[in-house]
Structures are given as C-alpha cells and as structure tokens.
Amino acid sequence: MRLQFAPYMLRFKQPAGTSRGVLTEKITCLLRLFDENEPEKFGIGEAAVFPGLSPEADDRYFYKLMELQANIRLGLKTNLEQFPSLQCGLEQAILDFSRGCNGIWYESPFVHGEYDITINGLIWMGDFDEMSERLEKKLNEGFHCIKLKIGAIDWRKEVELVQYIRDRYSPEKVEIRVDANGGFTMDNAIPRMQRLADLGVHSIEQPIRQGQPGFMKFLCEVSPLPVALDEELLGKFTTEQKIEMLDSINPAYIVLKPSLIGGFSKATEWIQLAEERGIGWWITSSLESNIGLNALAQWVATLKTTMPQGLGTGALYLNNFQTPLYLDGEHLKFNPLTTLDRRQLVELDWRE
C-alpha cells in the first residue's frame, strides 16, 4: 500500500471572523491511499489541520506525514495519538478504499437520499450590522437553531442580537446557542451567562478559555445556563484523560470536532463516555473542505440524532471540491445521483 498527501489552500469567499483572528485562507491536507498495482483506484481522506488550534500544527506535522508514508509502505503501524487530524484523514482514506473508492465512507439511508441532517445556522463574527444581516438571512432560510459566535464585538451589542431574535421568536420556535470561544473571564462569566439564560439561550460553548479545569467545574456547577465544552476536549488523548475530565467538570454537553480529537472512532468513544454520564453532545465541523465534510456528514447520519448538528455546507470557499452534499434550508442532504468528482483530486500536487 502507498500513501500520498497534497497540501491545499482553501480560500474564503469573504473574510471569516473567528476568535483567532480574521481568516482569508486556510491550509488543509488531503490524503490518498492506494495499491501501487492499481494507482487509479484510491481512498481519499482529509487531514483538516487547523493552525492555532490543532495540537499538531507545527514543524512536526510534515515529518509525521513522511513517517506515516514510509510505515504504510513497509506495513508498519504509526503512533498518531498526538496527531488527531492525521488520524482523522487516514481513517477516512482507509474507509473509502475498503469500501470501493467511490466516496461512500458510511452506508446509510443518507447516501441514498432518504434521510437528511438538521444543522444549526452559524452566524460568523463581525460587526453588528454584518452579524444582523447574516442572522436575518438564516432566519429567512428557515433555520430553527441559530449559533452565534460572540466575543468579537461589544457585549451589549451581542446581547442586542440575542434580544432581537427573542423579540420575534420564542425558545420553542428558535433555539439559540452561543459560542464564546473562551472569551469570558471569571469576573464577568456568571452575570453574562445569567443574562443569556434570561433570554432563553439553549447553551454556551467554552465560556472561559481551556486549561482552567477548576474554574470550568465551578461554572458548570453554578451556571444558570447549560455549558458545552469544546476546546476543553483537545489534547485528551487517552480514555483515562477523557473520563477524568468528564467526571471532574461534568458539563451539560460536549461539542465534538473529529478532525481535532482523532477521527470518528475517537469521537465515538467520547459519545459513549458522555452518554454513560448523562452528558449531551453534538458534532461540529472545523472548516474542512467538502471532502472532509462529506465523510463527516455520512458518519453523523449513522448516529441518528435529532439534535441540530454544527455541520458547515462548504459554501465558505472559492475553490472547494464538488461532492453530492447540498443544503435545503436547515437540512443537509446527499444527492445519490451524483458522485465525488475525483478528476479534481487527481490534478492536485500529490507528494510522496
């Protein structure tokens, strides 16, 4: 067996505001796995590394890729425990290869067009007018779950956006989730969370920055608003670390990004551990191209959850790949009459 990789720069249609600055482009890495006797048939996967967030986004990344290539050629295992995006991309490539190299990572009614995934409408960070315009567009498109990224503009303006939704829609009509990306402090977190709870907000992701387990545990105990952990999950590679964190902090929810936590198998372990403890969960994409998003959506469809998921639609980028995924209002769907266009993939800069 052989493995090749192709770095690929995704370019945003519009600058995307995040807690880590404004993005105009984002690097990703595609993997293809094949038998050297039939190189035209290959399994595809995406190692969606996220600079500034992925634990392996440093000089080690490409050295580990080359080690992985050599070991696959020799039939040896590679320790990818601290390289979650590579774990995720390799898992996808193996699944695609083992199932016929036709872009079906998981067989389910979803890939036959008989099932769809309800997603939340994500409102990117921006100034008040930009966020208001994006919010209005999502509501008009029929989204019943809205996720607001907060922490980029004045707190009073962010509350005004939430109030704007509540003045028009009850919590039963529109669910509001907010993601602080660690933007609150222990001085202001509780009063701000109380204000959001008064406005009928569903939950808040990562109110304070990760790495403060004592403070996070305290917030989860006293918060009037359900707390969902996101970045807090990063770097928890072993089952023991996951159990210790869940038992200690005891959040209401966890938010799972497979490319940041080691792929679908690792995410499945998180789900099992959470459900054993009565902790809720949902899945979120992390700025993958349509290749990784397609695989992610197919896996999520097998979970048969009714809670809105945080899956992007691939519409962010100018140079994305053509896949059978498409969006119909708040429903992410799969067109079984189309297939993953591998001609685009063959032309990439594959490296050995």
Q: Does 350 map to a domain? A: no
Domain that holds residue 68: 2-101
Q: Does 141 map to a domain? A: yes
Residue 2 neighbours by CB distance under 10 Å: 14
Buried-state track 336-351, b at ≥16 Cβ within 10 A, e below 16: eeeebebeebeeeeee
Sequence-separated (6 or more) residues with CB below 8 Å from residue 112? 334, 336
Residues 98-118 have a mean pLDDT of: 96
Contact between residue 249 and residue 217 where contact means Cβ atoms under 8 Å apart: yes
Please say if the pLDDT value at position 18 is more than 70.
no
Q: Tell me, yes or no, whether 92 and 114 share the same domain.
A: no
The CATH number assigned to the domain holding 203 equals: 3.20.20.120
The maximal CA–CA distance of the chain, rounded, in angstroms, is 63
Over the stretch 243-266, which tens digit does the pLDDT of each residue have?
999 999 999 999 999 999 999 999
Q: Does 340 map to a domain? A: no
Q: Tell me, yes or no, whether 30 and 83 share the same domain.
A: yes
Alpha-carbon span 282 to 143, nearest angstrom: 17
Over the stretch 167-180, which tens digit does the pLDDT of each residue have?
999 999 999 999 99
pLDDT for the residue numbered 229: 97
Q: Tell me, yes or no, whether 178 and 37 share the same domain.
A: no
Q: Tell me, yes or no, whether 82 and 124 share the same domain.
A: no
Q: Does 189 map to a domain? A: yes
Q: Does 294 map to a domain? A: yes
Residue 26 falls in the annotated catalytic set: no
Q: Tell me, yes or no, whether 208 and 93 share the same domain.
A: no
Share of the chain above pLDDT 90, in %: 80
Contact between residue 196 and residue 165 where contact means Cβ atoms under 8 Å apart: no
How far apart, in Å, are the Cα atoms of 190 and each of 50, 168, 179?
A: 30, 26, 15
pLDDT for the residue numbered 6: 96
Q: Tell me, yes or no, whether 129 and 160 share the same domain.
A: yes
Q: Tell me, yes or no, whether 116 and 94 share the same domain.
A: no
Q: Does 352 map to a domain? A: no
Over the stretch 162-217, which tens digit does the pLDDT of each residue have?
999 999 999 999 999 999 988 899 899 999 999 999 999 999 999 999 999 999 99
Q: Tell me, yes or no, whether 154 and 282 share the same domain.
A: yes
Over the stretch 295-313, which tens digit does the pLDDT of each residue have?
999 999 999 899 999 998 7
Helix (H) or strand (E) holding 8: strand 2-18
Q: Tell me, yes or no, whether 114 and 80 share the same domain.
A: no
Q: Does 343 map to a domain? A: no
Band the pLDDT of 150: cuts 50, 70, 90. confident
Q: Tell me, yes or no, whether 222 and 256 share the same domain.
A: yes
pLDDT for the residue numbered 17: 66
Q: Work out the end-to-end distance of the chain between its first and last CA atoms, rounded to an integer number of angstroms.
A: 12
149, 236, 242, 266: which is the annotated catalytic residue?
A: 149
138, 242, 257, 266: which is the annotated catalytic residue?
A: 257
Share of the chain above pLDDT 70, in %: 98
The CATH number assigned to the domain holding 84 equals: 3.30.390.10
Residue 59 neighbours by CB distance under 10 Å: 7
Residue in the structure block whose two tokens are 């979970």: 303
Mean pLDDT over the full length of the chain: 93
Q: How many domains does the chain have?
A: 2
Q: Does 339 map to a domain? A: no
Band the pLDDT of 126: cuts 50, 70, 90. confident
Please say if the pLDDT value at position 19 is more than 80.
no
DSSP string, 63-92: HHHHHHHHHHHHT-----TT-HHHHHHHHH
Q: Tell me, yes or no, whether 24 and 158 share the same domain.
A: no
pLDDT for the residue numbered 20: 63
Q: Tell me, yes or no, whether 214 and 94 share the same domain.
A: no
